[in-house]
Structure formats: structure tokens, C-alpha cells
Structure 1
């Protein structure tokens, strides 16, 4: 029987070596040994998120360039797009420090950072990295995400829902966009009958989050959309209302019973 290896251990020396080897062809003066040694010596006592942040810090320290030039180097190492709905973590974990780099160092340059998150999410995920941008550039983010909700790439469409979830797992809770759940719901509407089950599940999870803080608004919106035609309503509504159903909420139970 194989022993369990904590995920945090992935973010250590071996990953540092991999990142350094990827970066070196695009930035020949990258100090591989310095980078790898700094990661190896400083992550052992850290938990997962802190390890990721430490690697992002070392990327910043070892790429002594303007942010836009740093980003250009890092975007050269992201690899091919993930063509599947699975694997965004298992195959793309090596990009977590790159996403964190954009999250923490790119806030002063909205457009190029959002472009970077767009590319990263096709290969890994930007659902955590986008959240500070929602805080600092809410209106610009909403405009961008509205466009992305129609993107041809399912990972990008999923980011519209997952990145704005109020109770995204592993992330700090956020309120509805601008304090108005209707703004969240407007972003989700084009995704209700998305061709990807991966996207639809994110939407249902997002709706479930909203029911916990904005129950009446969310239930009414769900019921309105169901009444005017929603191909995937039965499965999505059940998943979206699961917390309310579990608590015995009569309105939710009535909606689910009528599916």
C-alpha cells in the first residue's frame, strides 16, 4: 500500500528545478542554483499556500525585470492548453506559483494581468488569482467576465463562475459583486445551458453559495429561469438547492419536488 504524500510537498525543490529549467531558455541569465536553493531552504516548514507564495516571491526576485517583462517570460513556460475538463490541477499544478505571481505582483497593471489569467486558466486555474482584481477593479472585471462567459474555451467560461463564487473552497469568502447578487446572477445566466458539464457544475455550486446569503433573491431567480425554459434545470437546480434542501427549507423542497 502506497503511503500518502501531502500535496504541499509538490511545491518544493523538484518543482523549483522544473520551473528553472523551463524559464532558462527564455531568460538565459536566470540563476537556476540560486532560485532552487532559495526554494529548497525556505519551504520545508511552510504549508501549501505559503509554499506557493514563497515560490512566487522567488520568481519575482530572480527575474529582475519590469513586471510586463517578467510576465512575458512566465507566459512562455505555461505549455499547451488543457483540452480536457479534468487535469487542471493534476497536470497544471506547476503553474500555481505563476498564477499566484500574477495575483500578488500584477495588481497595478490590470489589462496584461487579466490577459495572463486568461491564458493560465486554460491550463491550470485562475479562480484564486482573480479575486484581488475583483476587489480593486470590480467594474472592469465584470466587463471582462461578461465577454469571457461566451468564450469558446470551457476553462475560461468556468472561471467566470468559479472565480466570482462567494464561498469558493480554499479561498477567502467574498460578498456578492458590489453587494448585489443580481450582478453574480447576470454573469451566470449565459452559462445555465453551457455545453460543458464542468461549467454547469460550477454554476450550480455558485448558486448554492448564493442561497446561503441571498436566499430569496436566488430562489426566485432560479424559479423564474426554470419556468421560462432551462434544459439542464433538473440536475442543476437540485445541486444548486442542495444546502437548503438538506436544511429542510420548504421553498427549496417545493421547487425540487416540481422538477
Structure 2
């Protein structure tokens, strides 16, 4: 079995079941010879059938927690040995990397008291799949420490890491729990986005536009004023981002948003 998405039974949720448990076991065993394959697979098999996708991912992650060493750093070290090569493209993070969803959830669910270990893990995972969901509890629990990481990641060579700065901090990330802006100050989120507005990767810039659209719904005036200032500074380089970031307000007929669009 590969780490790719399966179409079995016609729904993605069925990927997260017994076959994936067997696949993860085959990856883990060479690095942890005492891994209890039968018990791990049985735990997953007994619970997943009636569940939807997110709950299936949680079941597999919780079964990993039972099967791996109780010491979180040791367990995490084993899991980081199975993540595979980095994704060299800006695609397939949600296909080839699906097998890492339970690993990301493992960090999200069980690593909150191990900030440094977990942030390192999220950095590695996002280069192969995504950490945009798993990072959110860390942003809330450790805002200052997280910001230090985010400022460093703004300049990372890997576009997946730079995208995580924007996507992970989005207040209204789809399929994720809503979070407040960093330290209850939208200016902090906007300062992070500033460096990414002209990022060489469209993949990153698209995340910035979506983030701005989120911010415009909750912090309208601050976000619109910031967009206006950016148009003055960066001119044509950011027209698409501003237009896409204004889409919700423009659709509602917001006069200030429409006036900004007329400048593009």
C-alpha cells in the first residue's frame, strides 16, 4: 500500500482505516522493533468503521500513542523517521502526504507540553504534508515563542514552510477550529503577511489572499487600511492578492472594498 489517497468505497475517509494502520506499522517497525503491530491494527479496526474522516484520523493517532513509547520525545523521534522525502513540488501535499495526517494529529494532541520538539516536528511534517491544523494549539498556548518560529520561517527556502506562516495563523482556516489573531492584535498577523505578499510562490501568495479575506471579516477597517497602504507601496505586484482578499467584502457590496478594487 502506498501513502497515496485511495478511492476505495468512493470516500476519502475510508483511507484512514485498517490498511493505513498496516502501512504505518510497516514503516514504524524498522525503527521500533517492539511496535505491537497486531494490537495497534486491532485498536484501529475495532473503532473506525462508524466514524467520519477526522474521527478516524484521531483514532489512528490515539492508537499510535498507545503503541509507541510513553515518552513523547522518543515516540516523536520514531514517527519523524517515517515521514519520507520532502515534497519538492507545490502540489500533492493532500494526496501523497495523507498518511501523515495521524502523525500531525499526534503532535497536535499529545505534544503541547513539549514545545520545541513539537515545533521541529511540525516544521518537518509541513514539508511533506501540512501542519496548518496541528500548529494552532501551539499558537494559542505559546504565542510569543511561536512568533519567534514564524518570523524565522518567513525566510525559509521551502515554500511549504513559508505557506505555513500564513495558513497556520488564518483565523478561519477551513475544516479547523477558529482562532483569534495572534495575541488579539490583527497587526501582528498583517506584519507576518507583509513579507509574503510578493513571495515567489503563487502557492504562498494564494494563502496570503485567503488570510486577508479572513481578516477582512473580523477586522474590517484595520485590514482595508493595511491593504490600501500596501497598494501604495507595492503597486502591481500585489493586485491579484488584494482583489482575492477583498472578495467577501466586495460580494457584500462594501463601499470601501469596492473603492479599493477600483484602484487596481
| TM-score normalised over the length of structure 2 | 0.96
Which of residues 193, 200, 214 in structure 2 aligns to 1:195?
Answer: 200
CA pair 230-88 structure 1, distance change in 2 beyond 3 A: farther
Q: CA deviation at 1:232?
A: 2.7
Distance 2:123 2:196 in 1: 17
Q: CA deviation at 1:34?
A: 1.2
| Pair 1:69 & 2:74 matched | yes
Show structure 1 runs of 4+ deviating over 3 A: none
Is the 2:163–2:204 Cα contact (8 Å) retained in structure 1?
yes
Q: Deviations over 1:76-128 (max 9, x none)?
A: 00000001111001110000000000001101110010000000000000000
Distance 2:9 2:244 in 1: 31
Q: CA deviation at 1:164?
A: 0.3
Distance 1:120 1:145 in 2: 15
Distance 2:190 2:228 in 1: 13
Q: Deviations over 1:4-24 (max 9, x none)?
A: 611111100111011000000
Q: Deviations over 1:200-240 (max 9, x none)?
A: 00000000000000000000001101101245321111100
Give the superposed CA RMSD. 1.2
Aligned to 2:54: 49
Aligned to 1:235: 240
Distance 1:230 1:57 in 2: 49
In structure 1, runs of 5+ residues without a counterpart are none
Q: CA deviation at 1:64?
A: 2.6
Is the 1:23–1:74 Cα contact (8 Å) retained in structure 2?
yes
Distance 2:241 2:224 in 1: 13
Aligned to 2:172: 167
Is the 1:193–1:231 Cα contact (8 Å) retained in structure 2?
no
| TM-score normalised over the length of structure 1 | 0.97
Q: Deviations over 1:31-79 (max 9, x none)?
A: 1111111111111111111111110100010013311100110000000
Is the 1:167–1:209 Cα contact (8 Å) retained in structure 2?
yes
Distance 2:197 2:169 in 1: 15
Aligned to 2:120: 115
Is the 2:8–2:15 Cα contact (8 Å) retained in structure 1?
no
- What are the equivalent positions in structure 2 for 1:63-102 lying under 5 Å apart? 63-102=68-107
In structure 2, runs of 5+ residues without a counterpart are 1-6
Q: What number of residue pairs does the alignment pair up?
A: 258
| Pair 1:219 & 2:224 matched | yes
Q: CA deviation at 1:254?
A: 1.1
